[in-house]
Each structure stands twice: as C-alpha cells, then as structure tokens.
Amino acid sequence: MNTMRYVDWILSALCGFLLVYLLNSLSDKVQNKIVKIVFFILKALGATALAFSLIAMGAPFLWKYGYPLSGIYIALLADFFAQIILFIISLFKKDLPKKYSLIISIVAMLFVFLYGTINSQIIRANELTYKSDKLKSEHRFVFLSDLHYGSSQRKDTVQNAFNEIKALKPDFVILGGDITDEKSEKEEMEWVYSQLGSFDCPVYFIYGNHDRQERGDYVGGKKYTADELEDAIINNGLIMLVDDYVVVDDIVILGREDVSHPERQPLDKLKSIPSDSYLICVDHTPYQNDEIRELKADLQLSGHTHAGQYFPLHFLYSLAGLNVVDEYRFNDTTLLVSPGIAGWFYPFKNESTCRYEVITLKP
C-alpha cells in the first residue's frame, strides 16, 4: 500500500462526499416528507448495494473503479448516520440552521472514513483454546489468512504483526491463503514470503482464490507467474499443503486446494488420513458444509470472508446462512472462520477487526 494509493483513497472519499452533498442539496428543496423518507431509504439501500458490489461481486469494472465507488459508499453510509442524528436533534430543536447540518455531515463523514481506514491498519491477536482426548501434548500455533500484501496495508503494519508473531514463539504457523493478490507486485510477493520464511518454526501454506492472480487481467496483467509464486514459497522454506497433509506429533494438518481451482480433489481421492490423530483441516473458503461434515476433522480453519469487510455485509451473509466469522459447529467439527489479518483491495474495514488467531491445543 503506497502513498499514491492513499492519495487516491482520500480523493475518492472527498469526491463521494461532494456528490452526496449535492444530492442532499437538491432533496432539501423538496418539502414533501414522504419523498424525503423515500430518498433516505434509497440512499441506505444504495450504500448496501455498493458494499455488496465492491466486496462480493468482483466484476471487471469494479476493479478499475473500486476506489471512486468506495468513496460514494463511505459518503452514503456517513450520510445515513448524519440523517439519523439530525432527526433526533430535530425532535428537540426546530429549524436547525443549515450550517449545523453541514457540520454534522462533515463530522459523520470524517468518523466513518477514519474509523474504517485506521481499523484496516490495526492487527490484533485472538487467543483461542481447544481440548481433545486425541491430544497427548500441548501445542500452540498461529493461523493467519487473507493478508493480501501490497493491496490494503502498509509495509510497517505487516512487519510489526510478523514481529509480534515471532515473539510468541509458536510451534508452527499456518497460512490460510490469499497472502498476496492481483494488486501485489512481484517484489512485494517475494518480500512477504522472505519474511514468512524467517519465522523460527515450520510454516504451512495453502492457496486462496487470489494468490495466483487469477484475475490479473482486471488490473493490467499478472505481476508474477504461478511458478514464480511457488518458487518463492518453497525457496523460503515454507511447506505447501495442496490436498495433502503432514503429521506433527499427535496432529495431522490437512491443507486443501482452493475450491475455485479445477484441480481440487474430492475427499475420496485424498490419501488415507490417520484416524487416531487430532485432524486440522485448512480450507481457504468456509462454505463447503457437506465436506466439513464428511471429513469429520476436529478443527477446520478458514478465512476468505473478511467478516464482510464493508458494513452491513456481515449481517447479510449471516442472514443468508453463510459461515461469516468466528466459530461454528458441525457435529464433532469446530469451524473457525478468521476475519483475516487485512482487508481485500481497499484500505478500509468497518466490519470486525484485522486479526490472526493464536490457538492452543490441550489434552
């Protein structure tokens, strides 16, 4: 995330605010209260539709115009809050001067913009503990997913998080995919894997749906090849788990190919997995509920969702019955969905925090 992208980001938010301000200026001339209410609802629906389009759709034109459209989303969301505040004030004070309405709108805009932008640069550790009769000894490891390095976070933010993880001295680290994406330059990809390779413990890697820059054509072409990515991963000492597993004492770590990839193997094609060990399945996408039940892993680790990233997607995903963030139970399997250590594409996150999972397994 370089300086020019931040300049573009700030300008996009400013342009979005000016557009919404002009729309509100036109609506102020309308005296009909029903029309005003309808206009308010349309703006709220517009913010929701933009959030869904920018995060969930992934259409080619959105990759090109994502920043300006995000600016409009931020302005509409801020206006939603501002209008609620103004309505509450109007219950106690009639004929509020127009300059106060403008001040409240600006404050709401600054709050929404700064909260989401700053929140995307704050990474926290989330401590979790699981117990099982299958475990003979205690293990402590880190699971991190969806870094999207080069896309939405500053280099020092990422470096500080890596330093914190190193200081934890985990037994091993699991990478849950989308460590880089289509906006990552080759040098950024090589840097992040050199840093991950410097951890003083085994580091296990699975693919996400962005690592290989499958949609590179949307942003002017791929910055590196799949072979160059694999070389960077292997040459820095990381262990790739692509529909394969590794045994670590009394634990089995199974890494799945991403569900979007045509070479992902069905469960019955995987080589026999030891049944008496504690099984951790790492699958970038958390939506394969039938597979989760069939595999019967003790713990599945996933990412991909970013907890929605843009409000109110968390609520909408949950309403649709999707596994969005935190823990879910499938018989004897605990599914842990991480919101990710970063956001995708945009330096903005107002759903959940950026975090990595620090997991302790106990007998």
CA–CA–CA angle 129, 132, 138 (5° rounding): 60
> Which residues are CB-contacts of 26 (< 8 A; sequence separation ≥ 6)?
none
Tokens encoding 171: 């037994």
With 90 as the cut, is the pLDDT of residue 89 above it?
Answer: no
> In the chain, what percentage of residues exceed pLDDT 90?
82
With 70 as the cut, is the pLDDT of residue 1 above it?
Answer: no
SS3 299: strand
303-354 pLDDT per residue, tens: 999 999 999 999 999 999 999 999 999 999 999 999 999 999 999 999 999 9
Amino acid making up residue 162: F
Count Cα neighbours of 67 within 13 Å in the Cβ-side half-sphere: 15
Longest dimension (CA), the chain: 74
User: Which residues on neighbouring strands pair with residue 330, listed in sequence order?
Assistant: 333
> In the chain, what percentage of residues exceed pLDDT 70?
100
Report, in angstroms and rounded to the nearest whole number, the Rg of the chain calculated over CA atoms. 23
31-55 pLDDT per residue, tens: 777 888 888 899 999 999 999 999 9
68-84 pLDDT per residue, tens: 999 999 999 999 999 99
What's CA 96's distance to the chain center, in Å?
41
Cα 203 from Cα 236, distance rounded (Å): 10
DSSP one-letter string for 214-253: TTGGGGTS-SS-HHHHHHHHHHTT-EE-SSEEEEETTEEE
The predicted structure's pLDDT at residue 145: 98
Percentage helix, strand, coil, to 5, in the chain? 45, 20, 35
Cα 74 from Cα 188, distance rounded (Å): 28
Per-residue pLDDT, averaged over 113-132, amounts to 97
CA–CA–CA angle 143, 145, 148 (5° rounding): 150
With 80 as the cut, is the pLDDT of residue 240 above it?
Answer: yes
- For residue 60, whether the previous peptide bond is cis, meaning omega lies within 30 degrees of 0, is no
The predicted structure's pLDDT at residue 93: 77
With 80 as the cut, is the pLDDT of residue 358 above it?
Answer: yes
Q: Does pTM surpass 0.85?
A: yes
Residue 11 pLDDT class (50, 70, 90 cuts): very high
**Residues 74/106, Cβ–Cβ less than 8 Å:** no
With 80 as the cut, is the pLDDT of residue 300 above it?
Answer: yes
**Residues 276/134, Cβ–Cβ less than 8 Å:** yes
Average pLDDT, the chain: 94
* Cβ-based neighbour number of residue 354 at 10 Å: 25
**The listed CATH number (3.40.50.450, 3.60.21.10, 3.40.50.150, 3.40.50.300) that belongs to domain 123-362:** 3.60.21.10
The predicted structure's pLDDT at residue 34: 85
215-228 pLDDT per residue, tens: 999 988 999 999 99
> Which residues are CB-contacts of 66 (< 8 A; sequence separation ≥ 6)?
54, 345, 346
191-203 pLDDT per residue, tens: 999 999 999 999 9
Residue 99 pLDDT class (50, 70, 90 cuts): confident
**Residues 214/207, Cβ–Cβ less than 8 Å:** no
Residue 196: name the closest of 223, 161, 228 by CA. 161
Where do the structural domains in the chain lie, given as residue ranges? 3-119, 123-362
